[in-house]
Structure formats: C-alpha cells, structure tokens
Amino acid sequence: MPEARTPAQIEADIVRRREQLAETLDEIGVRMHPKTIIGDAKAKAVGVVDHTAGRAVVTVNRLVTDVKGGLRHEDGAPRFERIVPVALLAVGVIGLVVVSARRKR
C-alpha cells in the first residue's frame, strides 16, 4: 500500500510541475515565434539551394569531362573532326548574341 503523502510533498510536486509546464510553454513560444519560423524556413531554403547547386556543379563537371573526352583520341591527340564543328558552332552562337545585342540598342 502506498504511503500517504504529506501536504508539503503535494505542494512541492505542484510547484515542480508548474515549473516544468512553464518551461514547456516557453519552449513552445520560442518555436512558434514568427522569427523562429522564418529563420527555420530560410535555413531550409538555403539548404535546398545549396544541395541543388551542388548537384548542378557535379552534373556540369561530368558533362565537361565527357565533352573533353570526346574531343581527344585515347592517346591524347586532338580530334579535329570533332573540334572544328564545335568551334564553328561556338563562333556562330557568339556572333548571334553580338548581333542580337546590337539590334536591341
């Protein structure tokens, strides 16, 4: 049979539980504060952007490596039959950009 608690013990329990409740309410208040919510959302957005940018960099690096590999023979000599068309295409695109920019002025 459990021992009967004294009024002092009951009062001490009530005080302790009030303090715990106050701490819990304070924590909820901090978590639900608009600045906290905005800060968490910003941090999450930055994380997503960083992750996406990192994946993009890896993809671009892989693509550049693949293109470089396609422009050279296995012995390292340049493949002019592939380099010349790529260079002509690049010159053409740059020329179109320049002409387009001049027309806009």
pTM of the model: 0.45
Distances in Å between the Cα of 63 and the Cα atoms of 50, 67, 88, 99, 104 are: 20, 6, 20, 29, 33
65 pLDDT higher than 70: yes
Residue 83 is assigned to a structural domain of this protein: yes
pLDDT in the model for residue 32:
92
pLDDT in the model for residue 94:
95
Domain span at 87: 79-105
Residue 73 is assigned to a structural domain of this protein: no
105 pLDDT higher than 90: no
Domain count, the chain: 1
Alpha-carbon distance 67 to 89, whole Å?
14
pLDDT in the model for residue 69:
85
Distances in Å between the Cα of 71 and the Cα atoms of 85, 90, 94 are: 11, 15, 20
Percent of the chain residues past pLDDT 90, beyond the cut: 70
Residue 97 is assigned to a structural domain of this protein: yes
Residue 16 is assigned to a structural domain of this protein: no
Percent of the chain residues past pLDDT 70, beyond the cut: 99
Between 37 and 76, name the one with better pLDDT: 37
pLDDT in the model for residue 70:
87
